[in-house]
């Protein structure tokens, strides 16, 4: 052991080859660890899907006549509540903002069965652990006369689609 310590690794006869060696060692370490980091980071892009196979975020819900004034129905497959008030219509999310359960329609608005969050008719939080109000989604009228909800575009709560 003691012999090894006396070697040219720590006691170079001349400084120049030592500096070159250290630089090369340093560069190859950077290269090695850099590629490990890159390889690890590329996993993220592999695991983050570019295509999802779940239900469409944009979907038709039917003609305006299907929702007479005063309607308030929950479409559980798409997880939205369609609420019509006079000639104004809105699509409110029924996915609890707390931990993703489906909220049910209650007398005062919405209630979550999982952790007891409560919302009013417009989706504002009135009780429980929910941190945010229920989002509202954009509603449009397609050329074929059907209403279309787009869950990818949120609108300000209170923004109705006027028929």
For other proteins, which residue of 90, 98, 109, 149 counts as binding (CB under 8 A)?
Answer: 98
Q: Which stretch binds other proteins (CB under 8 A): 5-13, 14-22, 110-118, 138-146?
A: 110-118
Whether residue 74 contacts residue 104, with contact meaning beta carbons closer than 8 Å, is answered with yes
Which of 105, 90, 71, 109 shows the shortest CA–CA distance to 155? 90
Query: Could you say whether residue 41 binds other proteins (CB under 8 A)?
Result: no
DSSP 54-97: S--SEEEEE-GGGS-TT-EEEETTTTEEEEEETTEEEEEE-B-T
CB-CB neighbours of 110 under 10 Å: 27
Part of the chain binding other proteins (CB under 8 A), chosen from 11-19, 32-40, 51-59, 61-69: 51-59
Query: What part of residues 56-85 is at the interface with other proteins (CB under 8 A)?
Result: 76-77
First and final CA of the chain: distance in angstroms?
88
Binder among 34, 62, 69, 100 for other proteins (CB under 8 A): 100
Is residue 114 at the binding interface for other proteins, with CB under 8 A as the rule?
yes
Scanning 41-49, 84-92, 140-148, 154-162 for contacts with other proteins by CB under 8 A, the matching segment is: 41-49
Q: How many CB atoms lie within 10 A of CB 151?
A: 19
Using CB under 8 A, pick the residue from 7, 52, 144, 162 that binds other proteins: 52
Using an 8 Å Cβ cutoff, are 62 and 155 in contact? Answer: no
**Residue numbers at the binding site for other proteins (CB under 8 A):** 1, 44, 47-49, 52-54, 76-77, 98-102, 111-116, 128-129, 131
């Amino acid at each position: 052991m003691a012999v090894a310590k006396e070697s040219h690794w720590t006691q170079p006869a001349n400084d120049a080859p030592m500096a070159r060696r250290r630089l090369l060692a340093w560069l190859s370490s950077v290269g090695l660890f850099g590629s490990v980091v890159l390889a690890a980071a590329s996993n993220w892009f592999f695991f983050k899907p570019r295509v999802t196979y779940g239900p469409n975020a944009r979907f038709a819900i039917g003609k305006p006549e299907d929702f007479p004034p005063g309607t308030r129905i929950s479409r559980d497959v798409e997880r939205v509540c369609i609420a019509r008030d006079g000639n104004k219509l809105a699509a409110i999310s029924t996915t609890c903002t707390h931990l993703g359960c489906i909220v049910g329609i209650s007398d005062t608005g919405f209630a979550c069965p999982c952790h007891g969050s409560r919302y009013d008719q417009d989706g504002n939080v009135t009780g429980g652990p929910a941190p945010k109000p229920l989002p509202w989604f954009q509603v449009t009228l397609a050329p074929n006369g059907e209403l279309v909800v787009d869950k990818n575009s949120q609108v300000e709560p209170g923004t109705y689609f006027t028929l």
